[in-house]
Every structure is written in structure tokens, then in C-alpha cells.
Amino acid sequence: MDNPKKTSMQWLFKKNCSFTPKQVGIFYLAQSTLSLIVASFFLYQGVWLILPFTLLELVVLAIALLIYARHATDYERIDIRQGELLVETSNAGKVMQFVFNPSWVRVDGVLNSQKLISINYQGQVLEIGRFIHVSLRKNFLIEFAQVLRKDF
């Protein structure tokens, strides 16, 4: 009666964002309304030069907020279950999944602000830890390596 373990370990790392994409939209709407009210006041006074600068401001702000909102929900999820290591990354809405055999995975890490944790599997190298603070990467690396060595 072979009853395999059903244990698993999961880590989820996300960006620490102040605004959700919905809040970014609400902020932009409020900012646009305020800027257009101020521009309308000056237009009423006869200062027509305010309009191009207001429109330029709103376009530049829209571009910056779109870039922010696009990456606000980025994450890395690492899941170790019996017989498989699943790494799921989301970058600008593009979700990628990688599945590895945990017994054959080697973990490396030269930890500094530029270098991430490397998962080496049959010649493939996948870097993780983008959303882990540099000071905490070593702790995660140790914990991750220990969990990989366990019999899942």
C-alpha cells in the first residue's frame, strides 16, 4: 500500500504597487478633469497657449500611467508538488509557465541587485526572484534549495 505524500509548497511574489490598474484609471480621469478645468479657465481669459500644454501633459501622463498599469499585476509563482516544479511568471499580462522535475533542478545564486536566482534544468536557465528584495533573496534561496531536496 504505497500512499505517496500529497505535500506541496508554494511561493507567490508580486510587485508592491500603490495603485491597481482600476485606481490608475480613476486617478487619470480625476487628473484630466482638473487639468481641463484649469485650462478652460485660462481659455476663457483668452490665453490660448495653455491648451497645447495641457494636452501634452495629459498625453505624457497617460503614457506613463499605461506603462505603470501594464506592469502593476506582474508576479512570479513557484509551486512544488509531488514530482514537479511549476514556475509561472506574468510580465505585462503575458503569462509563461515552466514545468521541471525537481530532482533534476540545480539552483544557483550570485545574489546582488543585478543577479537573480537561477534555476538550471537540462541546459535551460530560468531566473526568478525579480520581486524579492535583495536582502531577502539569500533566505529564499536557502529555503527553496531545502524544499527541492525534500522528497515531494
Residue 151: per-residue pLDDT: 59
Taking each helix axis as running N to C, give the angle between helix 21-44 and helix 50-71, from 0 to 180 degrees, rounded to the nearest 10.
180
Do 39 and 26 lie in a common domain? Answer: yes
Do 77 and 141 lie in a common domain? Answer: yes
Do 123 and 80 lie in a common domain? Answer: yes
Average pLDDT of the residues of the chain: 87
Domain span holding position 118:
9-15+73-149
User: Which residues, in sequence order, are bridge partners of residue 11?
Assistant: 78
The amino acid at residue 44 is Y
Residue that terminates a domain, selected from 54, 71, 88:
71
Say what the pTM is: 0.74
Residue 53: per-residue pLDDT: 96
Do 124 and 67 lie in a common domain? Answer: no
CA–CA separation, 88 vs 79, rounded Å?
Answer: 8
CA–CA separation, 28 vs 20, rounded Å?
Answer: 12
pLDDT higher than threshold 90 for residue 65: yes
Do 33 and 46 lie in a common domain? Answer: yes
Number of domains into which the chain is organized: 2
Residue predicted with more confidence, 109 or 86: 86
